């Protein structure tokens, strides 16, 4: 089953109404796996610098990063108005953090653009959507991007999710974006779990060996 953007928004609005403001509203199983994904994405750089969170949901990435001592600027964007409202309420006491509705152009002026889970739902043309989003993230970020997606290297596929060859994503980041990508297919979200997703870091400048 594929969906268009309006259906995706309605899907998450329904999840929010059903589960309330928490990980399940943004289609994660629990806070543990959500935090594990954020930890992988934040590994794009240490120190991380400022962050544009694409598909920010409830802004939980900011809280996870703050808990690890990160003090940079955070800006989240999302297509679900209710998520943006709730994120801003949750972030109200943080002077360096806020969220806005996503537009055609992503806000610039941030070191890294991070994206978690946005590519997971099956849509009318996932590959076109992913390429367009990655180009927008690449244009907005000063230093690079990091994102995750469901890997095609699995033995079971949920018909409502999109699975992609990690090397296809790597090749796009190298050839189309002109970046310097790093593919991570080495992690699991739980101890003893199966690596059913992957992450890519793509940098605008080559990384030093000890970076």
**How large is the average pLDDT for residues 120-126?**
92
Q: What is the pLDDT of residue 133?
A: 96
Write the DSSP symbol of residue 21: S
Listed in sequence order, the residues at least 6 apart from 19 whose beta carbon sits closer than 8 Å to its beta carbon are 25
pLDDT, tens only, 160-176: 999 999 999 999 999 99
pLDDT over threshold 90, residue 20:
no
Name the pTM for this structure: 0.93
Q: What is the pLDDT of residue 2?
A: 47
Q: What is the pLDDT of residue 81?
A: 95
Bigger pLDDT: 72 vs 124: 72
pLDDT over threshold 80, residue 76:
yes
What are the tokens at 106? 């992503």
Per-residue pLDDT band for 181 (boundaries 50, 70, 90) equals very high
**How large is the average pLDDT for residues 8-19?**
89
Q: What is the pLDDT of residue 99?
A: 98
Kindly list the structural domains of the chain, giving each domain's residue range(s) and its CATH number in brackets, ordered by start: 5-203 (3.40.50.150)
**How large is the average pLDDT for residues 99-113?**
95
**How large is the average pLDDT for residues 97-109?**
94
**How large is the average pLDDT for residues 137-146?**
98
Q: What is the pLDDT of residue 145?
A: 98
Question: Minimal CA–CA distance to 52: which of 127, 105, 131?
Answer: 105
Bigger pLDDT: 153 vs 194: 153
Q: Where would I find the beta strands (DSSP E) of 105-156?
A: 110-115, 141-151
Q: Are 6 and 16 in contact (CB under 8 A)?
A: no
Query: Whole-angstrom Cα distance, residue 175 to residue 81?
Result: 34
pLDDT over threshold 50, residue 1:
no
| Burial class of residue 164 in the structure, from the number of CB atoms within 10 Å of its CB (0-12 exposed, 13-18 middle, 19+ buried) | middle
pLDDT over threshold 70, residue 56:
yes
H/E element, 67: helix 60-67
């Amino acid at each position: 089953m594929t969906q268009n953007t309006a259906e995706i928004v309605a899907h998450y609005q329904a999840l929010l109404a059903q589960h309330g403001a928490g990980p399940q509203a943004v289609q994660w199983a629990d806070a543990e796996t959500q935090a594990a994904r954020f930890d992988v994405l934040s590994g794009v750089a240490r120190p991380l610098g400022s962050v544009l969170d694409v598909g920010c949901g409830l802004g939980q990435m900011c809280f996870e990063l703050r808990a690890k001592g990160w003090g940079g600027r955070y800006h989240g964007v999302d297509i679900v108005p209710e998520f943006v409202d709730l994120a801003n309420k949750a972030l109200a006491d943080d002077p360096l953090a806020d969220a806005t509705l996503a537009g055609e152009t992503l806000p610039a002026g941030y070191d890294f653009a991070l994206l978690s889970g946005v590519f997971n739902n099956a849509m009318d043309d996932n590959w076109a959507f992913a390429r367009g989003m990655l180009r927008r993230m690449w244009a907005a970020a000063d230093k690079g991007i990091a994102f995750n997606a469901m890997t095609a290297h699995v033995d079971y596929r949920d018909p409502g999710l999109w699975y992609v060859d990690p090397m296809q994503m790597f090749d796009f980041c190298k050839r189309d974006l002109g970046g310097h990508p790093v593919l991570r297919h080495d992690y699991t979200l739980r101890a003893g779990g199966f690596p059913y997703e992957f992450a890519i870091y793509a940098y605008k400048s080559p990384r030093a060996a000890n970076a």
